Amino acid sequence: MNNFLITPIEYLKGVGPQKAELLKKEIGIFSFKDLLEYYPFRYVDRSRYHTISELLEVNSLVQIKGRIVGIFEAGVGRNKRLTAKFQDETGMIDLVWFKGASWIKSSLKVNEEIQIYGKPTNYKGKWNIPHPEISAVAPPGGEGFQPVYSSTERLNSTGLNTKGIEKLVKVLLEQLSGQVEELLPESLRKEHRLITREQAIHWIHSPGSELEAQRARFRLKFEELFFLQLELLVRKKITMQKSKGYRMETVGSLFNEFYEKHIPFEMTNAQKKVLKEIRRDLNTGHHMNRLLQGDVGSGKTLVALLSMLLAIGNGFQAALIAPTEILALQHFESISEMLEPLNVKVALLTGSTKKKARIPLHEELQNGEISMLIGTHALLEDTVKFQNLGLVVIDEQHRFGVAQRARMWKKNKLAPHVLIMTATPIPRTLAMTFYGDLDVSVIDELPPGRKPITTMHKFDSSRLRLFGFLKEEIAKGRQVYIVYPLILESETLDFNNLMDGYEAISRSFPLPDYRVSIVHGKMKSEDKEFEMNRFVKGETQIMVATTVIEVGVNVPNASVMVIESAERFGLSQLHQLRGRVGRGAEQSYCILMTGDKLSADSTKRMQTMVRTNDGFEIAEVDLQLRGPGDLLGTQQSGLLDLKIANLSKDGQIVVMARDVAKKILTDDPTIELPANKGIRSRLSEMLKGRPDWGRIA
Ligand code: ADP
Ligand code: MG
Tell me, in angstroms, the distance from the centre of ligand 2 to residue 161's CA: 54
Neighbours of 223 (CB within 10 A): 19
Q: Identify the pLDDT of residue 438.
A: 67
CA of 303 relative to ligand 1 center, distance in Å? 9
- Whether 619 is covered by a domain: the verdict is no
| Percentage, residues of the chain above pLDDT 90 | 49
Q: How confident is the model at residue 332 (pLDDT cuts 50, 70, 90)?
A: very high
Print the SS3 string covering 80-135: CEEEEEEEECCEEEEEEECCCHHHHHHHCCCCCCEEEEECCEEECCEEEEECCEEE
Residues 177 and 198 in one domain: yes
> Structural domain tally of the chain?
5
Q: Count the neighbouring beta carbons within 10 Å of the beta carbon of residue 643.
A: 11
Structural domain contains residue 314: yes
3-state helix, strand, coil in the chain (%, to 5): 45, 20, 35
CA distance 237 to 286: 11
Q: Is residue 629 part of a domain?
A: no
Single out the residue of 518, 497, 494, 496 nearest to residue 506, CA to CA: 518
Minimum-distance ligand 1 atom for the alpha carbon of 266 = 23
Mutate to test the pocket of ligand 1, among 296, 298, 320, 374 (most ligand atoms within 8 A of CB): 298
Based on the fold, state whether residues 129 and 177 are members of the same structural domain: no
- HEC assignment per residue over 422-490: ECCCCCHHHHHHHCCCCEEEEECCCCCCCCCCEEEEEEHHHHHHHHHHHHHHHHCCCEEEEECCCCHHH
Percent of the chain with pLDDT over 70: 91
Instruction: Please name which ligand lies nearest the alpha carbon of 334.
Output: 1
Pair 436, 236: CB distance under 8 Å = yes
Q: Is residue 556 part of a domain?
A: yes
Q: Which atom of ligand 1 is nearest to the CA of 302?
A: 6
pLDDT of residue 697: 29
Residue nearest to atom 12 of ligand 1 (CA): 299
Residue 78: pLDDT over 80: no
Residues 306 and 397 in one domain: yes
**Which CATH number is 55's domain given?**
2.40.50.140
Helix (H) or strand (E) holding 589: strand 589-594
pTM: 0.68
Ligand 1 surroundings by CB, under 6 angstroms: 265-268, 271, 294, 296-302, 423, 447
**Other Cβ atoms closer than 10 A to 247:** 12
Model confidence at 217, in pLDDT bands (50, 70, 90)? very high
User: pLDDT tens digit string along 505-557?
Assistant: 999 999 888 999 998 878 887 888 888 889 999 999 999 998 765 555 778 89
Residue nearest to atom 10 of ligand 1 (CA): 297
Distance 456 CA to ligand 2 centre (A): 25
User: 622: CA distance to ligand 2 center in Å?
Assistant: 22
pLDDT higher than threshold 80 for residue 559: yes
- What's residue 634's pLDDT? 43
* Residue 520 CB partners (closer than 8 Å, separation 6+): 486, 495, 498, 545, 546, 548
Reply yes or no on whether the pLDDT at 691 is more than 50.
no
Look up residue 252 and give its amino acid: G
Q: Could you tell me if residue 503 is inside a domain?
A: yes
- Binned at pLDDT 50, 70 and 90, residue 141 comes out as very low
Instruction: Output the CA 205–ligand 1 centroid distance in Å.
Output: 54
Q: Are residues 348 and 476 in the same domain?
A: no
663 confidence band (pLDDT: 50, 70, 90): very high
Q: pLDDT tier at 74 (50, 70, 90 boundaries)?
A: confident
Pocket test for ligand 1, best of 272, 293, 300, 302 (most atoms within 8 A of CB): 302
Say if residue 321 is in the same domain as residue 236: no
pLDDT of residue 45: 73
Averaged pLDDT, 9-22: 92
Instruction: Specify the residue with its C-alpha closest to ligand 1, atom 9.
Output: 299
Q: Hey, which of 265, 272, 450 would you mutate to test ligand 1's pocket, going by the most ligand atoms within 8 Å of its Cβ? A: 265
The closest ligand to the CA of 304 turns out to be: 1
Query: Which is higher by pLDDT, 661 or 235?
Result: 661
The alpha carbon of 131 and the centre of ligand 2 are apart by a number of angstroms equal to: 48
Shared domain check, 325 and 183: no
Q: Which residues of 563-585 are buried (b: 16+ CB within 10 A; e: fewer)?
A: bbbbbbbebbbbbbbbbbbbbbe
Q: Are residues 13 and 92 in the same domain?
A: no
Atom of ligand 1 nearest to the CA of 301: 6
Give the residue, by CA position, lying nearest to ligand 1 atom 4: 300
Which CATH number does the domain housing residue 520 bear? 3.40.50.300
Q: Using the mean position of ligand 1's atoms as its centre, give its distance from the Cα of residue 268 in Å.
A: 10
Atom 26, ligand 1: which residue's CA is nearest?
Answer: 447
* Structural domain range at position 118: 48-142
CB 419 within 8 Å of CB 278: yes
**Structural contact between residues 516 and 506, judged by C-beta atoms closer than 8 angstroms:** yes
Residue located nearest, by CA, to atom 20 of ligand 1: 299
pLDDT value, residue 629: 61
The rounded distance, in Å, linking the Cα atoms of 252 and 257 is 9
Which atom of ligand 1 is closest in space to residue 579's alpha carbon? 3
Answer with the residue of higher pLDDT: 380 or 697. 380
Residue 633 is assigned to a structural domain of this protein:
no
What is the pLDDT at residue 637?
47
Cα 272 to averaged position of ligand 1 atoms, centre (Å) = 13
- Which residue, 597, 612, 627, sits at the end of a domain? 612
Q: What is the DSSP letter of 258?
A: I
Q: Are residues 227 and 370 in the same domain?
A: no
Nearest ligand 1 atom, CA 294:
2
Query: How far is the C-alpha of 382 from the C-alpha of 399, rounded, in Å?
Result: 20
> Which bound ligand lies closest to the C-alpha atom of 299?
1
Residues 471 and 417 in one domain: no
Categorize the per-residue pLDDT at 435 as very low, low, confident or very high, splitting at 50, 70 and 90: low
Give the β-pairing of 516-519 and 133-136.
unpaired
Residues 6+ positions from 163 with CB-CB distance below 8 Å: none
pLDDT band at 661 (very low <50, low <70, confident <90, very high): very high
Burial letters 271-285, b for 16+ CB under 10 A, else e: beebbebbeebbbee
Instruction: Choose between 304 and 382: higher pLDDT.
Output: 304
For a pocket test of ligand 1, which of 266, 293, 301, 442 has the largest count of ligand atoms closer than 8 A to its C-beta? Answer: 301
Our measurement of the distance from residue 155's CA atom to the centroid of its chain's CA atoms, rounded to an integer in Å, reads 34
- 364 by Cβ neighbours in 10 Å (0-12 / 13-18 / 19+) ranks as middle
Q: Confirm whether 262 is domain-assigned.
A: yes
Q: Whose CA is nearest to atom 23 of ligand 1?
A: 267
- Residue 32 confidence (pLDDT) above 70: yes
The SS3 assignment for 324 reads coil
Same domain, 532 and 547: yes
Report CA(267)–ligand 1 centroid distance (Å): 9
Residue 525 lies in a domain: yes
Q: Kindly state whether residues 322 and 196 are assigned to the same domain.
A: no
Ligand nearest to the CA of 302: 1
Ligand nearest to the CA of 269: 1
Q: Which of 49-53, 338-342, 627-631 has the lowest mean pLDDT?
A: 627-631
Give every strand in the sheet of 454-459, ordered side by side.
454-459, 589-594, 558-563, 479-483, 542-545, 516-519
First to last CA, the chain: 25
Does the pLDDT of residue 55 top 50, yes or no? yes
Give the Å distance between the CA of 551 and the centre of ligand 2.
Answer: 8
Q: Which of 315, 271, 320, 258 is nearest to 297 (CA)?
A: 271
Instruction: Report which DSSP code applies to 45.
Output: E
**Nearest residue (CA) to ligand 1, atom 1:** 297
How buried is residue 296: exposed, middle or buried, by Cβ count under 10 Å (0-12/13-18/19+)?
buried
pLDDT of 337 > 50? The answer is yes
- Among the listed residues 243, 301, 313, the one whose alpha carbon sits nearest the alpha carbon of residue 275: 301
- Same domain, yes or no: 67 and 93: yes
Residue 54's CB is within 10 A of a number of other CB atoms, namely: 12
Give the Å distance between the CA of 523 and the centre of ligand 2. Answer: 24
